[in-house]
Amino acid sequence: MLRGLLFGPDGAAFSPSHTRKKDRLYRYYVSQTVLKHGAGTCPVGRVPAGDIEAAVIDLLRAVFRQPEIIIGTWKAAEAREALMLFDPLWDELFPTEQARIVQLLVERIDIGLGGLDVHLRIDGLSGLVRQMREAAA
């Protein structure tokens, strides 16, 4: 979901990866610095995929609920109505559709020891609303 969006404190990109232990799949994002230079070369070497994806989705859902952000989007009244419908539907979307929407809304995510800094695309929200309107028509 966050492929190409997640960067560590040293500016290196994080890549999705996984491992299996017994019959269980563990997904995570790992720093390119760690992949190239080994463990311990980045203060945030790897992060559990589910945790970081959930944090980003929670942030996006919070954005959808903030009228002051929606007001700045394309045709505010229509945007508010579309986004109010979108939030409860998020969990019903297929993972590929969720990933497409995240890629549309998020420009970059910087991860550090202190947490996440999510940079949204300036036109991402209005683009999402436009796509939702076209799909509904």
Within-domain flag for 113? yes
Cα(88)–Cα(110) distance, integer angstroms: 27
Residue 108 falls within a domain, yes or no? yes
pLDDT of 86 higher than 80: no
Q: Which of 77, 72, 69, 16 is nearest to 47 (CA)?
A: 16
Q: Check pLDDT > 60 for residue 75.
A: no
Q: At what angle do helices 49-64 and 76-89 cross, to 10 degrees?
A: 140
Within a domain: residue 46? yes
**Residue 38 covered by a domain:** yes
Give per-residue pLDDT as tens, 18-38: 999 999 999 999 999 999 998
Let me know if residue 1 belongs to a domain.
no
Backbone angles phi, psi at 96, to 5 degrees: -65, -35
What would the pLDDT profile of 87-137 be if each residue is shown by its tens digit? 777 888 888 888 888 888 899 999 988 889 999 887 777 677 677 667 666
Domain count, the chain: 1
pLDDT at residue 81, rounded to an integer: 61
pTM for this prediction: 0.78
Q: Which of 80, 81, 58 is nearest to 67 (CA)?
A: 80
Domain that holds residue 101: 6-136
Domain contains 92: yes
Q: Angle, nearest 10°, between helix axes 95-105 and 124-136?
A: 140
Alpha-carbon Rg for the chain, nearest whole angstrom, is: 17
60 lies in some domain? yes
